[in-house]
Amino acid sequence: MNWTFSIPAILIFVLLFAFSVLSFANFIRLSLGFRKLNSKNEREGIFPSEPSEEEMELFFSPIERTIDWFPTIASVSMLLGLLGTVIGISTAFGEMEAQGKVSLEVLAGGIKDALNTTIAGLFVAIPCLLFHRVCENKVRHLSETMIFDFSKPK
């Protein structure tokens, strides 16, 4: 298999790789924080008495802002994959026009770039959306757990 790509495809791959590292690092960081908050002692250390709604909102606000980046990264990744597709198809037609003939060899390079950038964009976007749902559900669960901690008689 020929592993050469056009310059635009390489730039898209680099951006997508950066997005994937960023989203994975944020997911790991959030997961470790969530794991820490699973401990009742840790939660009681943060909120020794029942928190007000404002305190809960202030506590979860930075976490939710971080979580809100996941769908943004997913959307941009899908759009970068689509951009790679359009550039690859355009390159294929440009090469076909320059050579004045239609052949599989002329189209193959551009189509390969188009498909590979689309695949890479989806490989970044799908886990980002999954990370978003998992983290959103964990925040919801933690907020319910914190409320439940103070609703039980001691």
The predicted-structure confidence for 69-98, as pLDDT tens digits, reads as follows 999 999 999 999 999 999 999 998 998 899
Nearest to 30 by CA among 72, 70, 67, 68: 67
Going by pLDDT thresholds of 50, 70 and 90, the confidence category of residue 100 is: confident
Looking at every residue in the chain, the average pLDDT score rounds to 92
Q: How does DSSP assign 3-47, residue by residue?
A: ----HHHHHHHHHHHHHHHHHHHHHHHHHHHHHHHTSHHHHHHH-
Going by pLDDT thresholds of 50, 70 and 90, the confidence category of residue 148 is: confident
Cβ–Cβ under 8 Å, residues 47 and 142: no
Lowest mean pLDDT among 49-53, 71-75, 148-152: 148-152
The gap from C-alpha 93 to its chain's centroid, in whole angstroms, comes to: 32
Q: What is the mean pLDDT of residues 90-118?
A: 89
Token pair listed for 97: 């026009």
Cβ–Cβ under 8 Å, residues 135 and 70: yes
Q: Is the pLDDT of residue 119 over 80?
A: yes
More confident residue, 47 or 18: 18
The gap from C-alpha 94 to its chain's centroid, in whole angstroms, comes to: 33
More confident residue, 149 or 132: 132
How confident is the model at residue 133, as a pLDDT? 98
The span from the CA of 125 to the CA of 92, in Å, is 26
pLDDT tens string 16-42: 999 999 999 999 999 999 999 999 899
